[in-house]
């Protein structure tokens, strides 16, 4: 699909502002493929990242079409800017996470325990991570699961939603969906952590 013409874009926006019930589908159909191609060509995004960033941009517009001001920009440029910002944010988050995940203990330096945990909490968390390090490696866990487990251990189970979202690479999701996914993954990782801890205890006994 080719990039939409200026006339097509203006007409779509007029339909959105007049609450045309079919406009939402047409906006999605018109912009998704061109945005994905643009992100992959000019930013070198992976197919998944390009698709997620393009979808974020389109849905941001669909939720609040009135925020677009035709006097300042074309709708295509408006959506492209949002998509590129989301792609850059996703890349920065992923790069930071990958740096942390090279060593299961690096999060102790990057994200120290919450202040109310104090030095004792830091030492306990570090000891637990050290004890579980081999178990985690043997389990062959995905890197984002390892990052999530670190957050749980360092905060002694009281998991900050934003920090967990960052560790799991979920920061790009809309707030409601992000919170749902954080809760779901946190419970899953807590169960996994308990299983790893029990295996570690069995070896010691």
Q: How far apart are alpha carbons 118 and 74 in whole angstroms?
A: 52
List of residues 6+ apart from 107 with CB closer than 8 A: 100, 147, 150, 151, 154
Q: How far apart are alpha carbons 37 and 51 in whole angstroms?
A: 9
Per-domain residue ranges of the chain? 6-91, 101-204
The model's pTM is 0.49
Question: How does DSSP assign 94-107, residue by residue?
Answer: HHHHHHHTTSTTTH
| CATH number, domain 6-91 | 1.10.1740
Q: For every one of its 205 residues, what pLDDT tens digit does the chain have, with 9 covering 90 and above?
A: 566 778 888 889 999 999 998 999 999 999 999 999 999 998 888 888 899 999 999 999 999 999 999 888 889 999 999 999 999 888 887 776 666 555 444 444 434 444 445 545 555 556 666 666 666 667 777 888 888 888 887 776 578 888 899 989 998 888 888 999 999 999 898 888 777 766 544 434 3
List of residues 6+ apart from 194 with CB closer than 8 A: none
Provide the 8-state DSSP code for 166: H
């Amino acid at each position: 699909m080719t990039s939409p013409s200026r006339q097509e874009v203006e007409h779509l926006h007029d339909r959105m502002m007049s609450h045309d019930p079919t406009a939402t589908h047409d906006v999605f159909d018109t912009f998704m493929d061109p945005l994905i191609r643009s992100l992959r060509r000019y930013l070198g995004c992976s197919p998944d990242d390009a698709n997620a960033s393009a979808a974020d941009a389109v849905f941001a517009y669909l939720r609040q079409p009135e925020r677009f001001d035709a006097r300042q920009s074309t709708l295509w440029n408006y959506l492209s800017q949002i998509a590129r910002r989301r792609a850059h944010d996703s890349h920065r988050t992923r790069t930071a996470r990958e740096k942390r995940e090279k060593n299961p203990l690096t999060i102790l330096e990057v994200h120290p325990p919450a202040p109310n945990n104090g030095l004792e909490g830091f030492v306990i968390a570090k000891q637990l991570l050290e004890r579980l390090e081999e178990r985690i490696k043997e389990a062959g866990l995905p890197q984002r699961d390892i990052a999530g487990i670190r957050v749980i251990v360092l905060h002694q189970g009281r998991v900050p939603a934003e920090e967990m979202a960052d560790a799991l690479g979920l920061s790009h999701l809309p707030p409601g969906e992000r919170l749902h996914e954080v809760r779901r993954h946190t419970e899953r990782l807590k169960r996994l952590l308990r299983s790893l801890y029990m295996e570690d205890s069995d070896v010691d006994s």
